[in-house]
Amino acid sequence: MTACLTCEPALRFDLGPELIATTPPEYRRVARDQVRMLIASADGIEDRRAADLPDVLRVGDVVVVNDSQTLPASLPGRTADGQAVEVHFSTVLPASGDTPAAALSATRSRWLVELRRPAPGGSRPSPANHAGAVVTVSGGAQLQVGGPHAAGPASGAAAPLRLWEATVCTPRPLLEHLEAFGEPIRYGYVAAPWPIAAYRTALGVVPGSAEMPSAGRPLTGRLLRRLAEKGVQVERITLHCGVSSGEAGEPPYAEWLSVPERTAEAVSQARRDGRRVIAVGTTVVRALESTGNGRGGVRPAQGWTDLVVTPERGVDTVDGILTGWHEPEASHLAMLEAVAGRALLCESYRAALDRGYLWHEFGDVHLLLPGTGR
């Protein structure tokens, strides 16, 4: 079978339903670290398992992971006129001045939210104008909706009626309220309402992501120990992921990041030594590039980033990336092209389609190692 894929001007392909992972691998009797891993490098295309990562990487490589923990960020609600809605908490509103940690420990905070229509098998986008709506949310919480939130700075488009700025009031700290009444955000392609544990990685210790930083999902404790035994250095950043509904096709918007001093020094030293830095997920690339000094080094920092990484901008803090498989024309593909180049990216996506790799958060992974090969 030859995949129907075009590379110009953007990466376009047909994604058949048989290639969408609807169930977590552990519910398919496949261990997390046994999902398939396609390696694309100067040595060509190779099929492996995620558990093979220690055999593939080199002694001295620095692997950077995202330790953000997924929230049960979906709450059922009802508007004043009786309309049922599903509230997806995305990110703290940057203009509020709150950090995510402060907002989650408060009983009143301002957020970007998506209001969706409940539907069998997963919610659907809501085209309604919710400006000014008051939404009663389960557990005695209330949401006061303001206006629509503009798309990212690179869009140049009018604000879609998808993300809304809202004030939420809860009878207890918001994180406790979400843990008591919330569910993980789930889209229509997911087969069942899997528990929040299915949406969390072994690395996630800092609550704050609306959606799972899924590239780290195969990195089990066992696999992390084997990386350390191999002599691969594992360092952490935090970047809280907002919602990224596949229906919208919007550019990224602002997200909260923290790059610790230890990680900044490890990445900077590796770049000076000529050792490789491998990002686990597009969130890690965004965090490192946002705090880069323009010469390959990274500064410790925390705050908001609205950086959009494109092929024209390029990257200078990472040498490769472990990532999932992304939608046709998704903005994440531009970042991957910045890391790997158009030719290698197209070659790997064509191979993944031909070889039946699985897409989305419960699917397989993709290791891009351009330049030096393995």
**Nearest-angstrom CA–CA distance, 241 and 213:** 7
Q: What is the pLDDT of residue 251?
A: 67
Q: What is the pLDDT of residue 305?
A: 96
Q: What is the pLDDT of residue 177?
A: 98
Chain segment 116-144, per-residue pLDDT in tens: 988 877 788 888 888 999 999 999 999 99
List the structure tokens of 310: 């494109």
Chain segment 334-363, per-residue pLDDT in tens: 999 999 999 999 999 999 999 999 999 999
Task: State the burial class of residue 317 (Cβ atoms within 10 Å of its Cβ: 0-12, 13-18, 19+).
Answer: buried
Is the pLDDT at 202 greater than 90? The verdict is yes
Which of 4-13, 48-57, 74-83, 331-340 is modeled with the greatest confidence? 48-57
Q: Per-residue confidence at 232, pLDDT binned at 50, 70, 90? A: very high
Higher pLDDT, 259 or 4: 259
**Nearest-angstrom CA–CA distance, 160 and 147:** 11
Q: Which residues pair with 224 in a beta bridge?
A: none
Asked if 280 contacts 218 with a C-beta cutoff of 8 angstroms, the reply is no
Please report, rounded to a whole number, the percentage of residues in the chain having pLDDT higher than 70.
94
Q: What is the pLDDT of residue 331?
A: 82
Asked if 327 contacts 187 with a C-beta cutoff of 8 angstroms, the reply is no
SS3 235: strand
List the structure tokens of 234: 């594992």
Q: Per-residue confidence at 38, pLDDT binned at 50, 70, 90? A: very high
Q: What is the pLDDT of residue 156?
A: 45
Q: What is the pLDDT of residue 56?
A: 96
Residue-wise burial string across 298-309, b where 16 or more C-beta atoms lie within 10 A, e elsewhere: beebeebbebbb
List the structure tokens of 20: 């969408």
Phi, psi of 23 (to 5 degrees): -135, 140
Q: Per-residue confidence at 148, pLDDT binned at 50, 70, 90? A: confident
> Which amino acid does the sequence have at 124?
R
- Mean pLDDT, to the nearest integer, of 145-162? 64
Task: State the burial class of residue 31 (Cβ atoms within 10 Å of its Cβ: 0-12, 13-18, 19+).
Answer: middle
**Nearest-angstrom CA–CA distance, 33 and 54:** 12
| Lowest-confidence pick of 1-10, 16-25, 107-116, 234-243 | 1-10
Q: What is the pLDDT of residue 146?
A: 94
Q: What is the pLDDT of residue 154?
A: 42
DSSP 271: H
Q: Per-residue confidence at 152, pLDDT binned at 50, 70, 90? A: very low
Q: What is the pLDDT of residue 121?
A: 74
Q: What is the pLDDT of residue 132?
A: 93
User: What is the reported pTM?
Assistant: 0.94
Chain segment 58-117, per-residue pLDDT in tens: 999 999 999 999 999 999 999 999 999 999 999 999 999 999 999 999 999 999 999 998
Asked if 58 contacts 276 with a C-beta cutoff of 8 angstroms, the reply is yes
Phi, psi of 27 (to 5 degrees): -85, -5
Q: What is the pLDDT of residue 253?
A: 81
Is the pLDDT at 151 greater than 60? The verdict is no
